[in-house]
Amino acid sequence: MKIEFKLEGKIEGKTEEKFEVAKNAKIEGLPLELIIKLTGLTKEDIENI
């Protein structure tokens, strides 16, 4: 069980990191398609940031 919680925490951290990168890229004016390619997030995820 303890390993599962560690793995879950790592996955959540990586997801948060992707959203942070997308947020910063969006602020810098990068094209949506490039942000999608860089982060692997969906168009909807990025538009909702």
User: Are the beta carbons of 2 and 25 closer than 8 angstroms?
Assistant: no
Residue-wise burial string across 7-39, b where 16 or more C-beta atoms lie within 10 A, e elsewhere? eeeeeeeeeeebeeebeebeeeeeeeeebbeeb
Q: What is residue 1's predicted lDDT score, i.e. its pLDDT?
A: 59
Domain boundaries defined on the chain: 2-47
CA distances from 10 to 7, 29, 31 (A): 5, 29, 28
Cβ distance 34 to 22 under 8 Å? no
User: Which pTM was predicted?
Assistant: 0.80
pLDDT, tens digit, for every residue of 1-49? 587 877 788 888 889 999 999 999 999 999 999 999 999 999 999 999 9
